[in-house]
Amino acid sequence: MHSSAVFLIEFGAIILGLGLLGRFAGRFRFSPIPLYLIAGLAFGEGGLLPLGASEEFVAIGAEIGVILLLLMLGLEYTASDLVSNLKTQYAAGLVDAALNALPGAAMALLLGWGPVAAVVLAGVTWISSSGVIAKVMGDLGRLGNRETPVILSILVLEDLAMAVYLPIITALLAGVSLAAGSVTLAIALGVAGLVLFLAVRFGRVISRFVSSDDPEKLLLVVLGLTLLVAGIAQQLQVSAAVGAFLVGIALSGEVAEGAHNLLSPLRDLFAAVFFVFFGLHTDPASIPPVLLPALALAVVTAGTKIATGYWAARRAGISVKGRWRAGGTLVARGEFSIVIAGLAVTAGIEPALGPLATAYVLVLVIVGPLTARYTEPVATWLTGRRTRVRAARPAAAEVMPEALEAVDDSTAGRRGA
């Protein structure tokens, strides 16, 4: 009974605190995600007041939060939209991998960590946080923007790439044979392909099965189906996030709209819990020793993500402002990066890799919502300033001769006098 009371007090305090932080962020019109993370740092391992009784429940809530974020992201688009975007944006996925994975691999090799750690850190720096980005786009009201399909296409390509990358990295860390690793990879690819095929081919049938005029039944069926598919996907070495996203893609029409309205409050609640949980499992004392390389890596890969989004949006014919918004939105890293680093830490590959990845993700998960909001206005201001300077130069060149002539005339007049 006592532990139950402590759990209710702790979890109630967490939810109340999140609500107050959200109201504070809303008053100043910025994303509450950085505040959620800082709160997690304050009450996590090595923080001011570590939690105990509610930690396990918070962990489950955090996992549900990521699943709901990806489900809601999938509900925004149909299966045909997904296939069309993947066909047109596959080149952006290749550019994304090249620009953002290579800096992580290079940093690991410079630190002398070896090739396996290089592959791990490449994954950490490559994958943007779908959860953070989905929340930020919702907070900023950009889900209907023209650049949003480009952003989502890159995120989907990254998430689907994880179905290939995670089995490979798991095999490398475990030191298993090529044959065993190939079997794991084949299973992962088969499951991801099957779910995608069902979503594209039988999306209407699934929507009719899920459809209900009763909001309660619709909520239960959609939520249950999503958690079931996510769990099966994860059990078969495919990301639960990918499974949830594909469930959202499979639902369309009135079912998708009704599910979106019903699940939005749940998504906001559990997404906030996810960001707090991330902070809870970050020991502040482990960050200072690796802060400089983490900051250097964050600066470089923030720039490469902005370049990736700008190039992809330009290729899709988006306006200049939309290109900058796309680039700035992609900067945040989060859940996948932590999962990848966690695999390496568990395998004991490199003790410093975990703290470095944590510091890196913490920096970019705080900076990411800021770049999403301010990259476009800052770029517009800088571009406008350069344009004004260029326009002023010819005008100054025209004024200078006239001024010199006036000086000569006045001098000649004084001499004549």
- Note the pLDDT tens digit of each residue in 371-409: 999 999 999 888 877 777 777 666 555 555 554 454 444
Beta-carbon neighbour count of residue 412 at 10 Å? 10
- Note the pLDDT tens digit of each residue in 59-89: 788 888 888 877 887 787 676 666 776 777 7
Nearest CA to 264 among 211, 215, 336? 215
With bands split at pLDDT 50, 70 and 90, how would you rate the model's confidence at 417? very low
pLDDT of 248 above 50:
yes
Q: Where are the alpha helices (DSSP H) in 211-252?
A: 215-235, 240-250
Query: Would you say the C-alpha torsion 266, 272, 277, 280 has a positive or negative sign?
Result: negative
Angle at which helix 335-347 crosses helix 253-280, to 10 degrees, equals 50
Q: Where are the alpha helices (DSSP H) in 127-252?
A: 130-139, 148-174, 178-201, 203-210, 215-235, 240-250
pLDDT of 154 above 50:
yes
Q: Which residues contact residue 149 at a Cβ distance below 8 angstroms, ignoring those fewer than 6 apart?
A: 77, 81, 85, 316
Residue 49's Cβ-count burial label (10 Å; 0-12, 13-18, 19+) is exposed
Beta-carbon neighbour count of residue 208 at 10 Å? 11
**Does the model's pTM come out above 0.75?**
no
Least confident of 16-25, 123-132, 273-282: 273-282
- Note the pLDDT tens digit of each residue in 158-206: 877 776 787 777 777 776 555 666 676 677 667 667 767 777 777 778 7
| 371 vs 333: CA distance, rounded Å | 12
| 260 vs 77: CA distance, rounded Å | 12
Amino acid symbol at 212: S
Structure tokens, 19: 């609500």
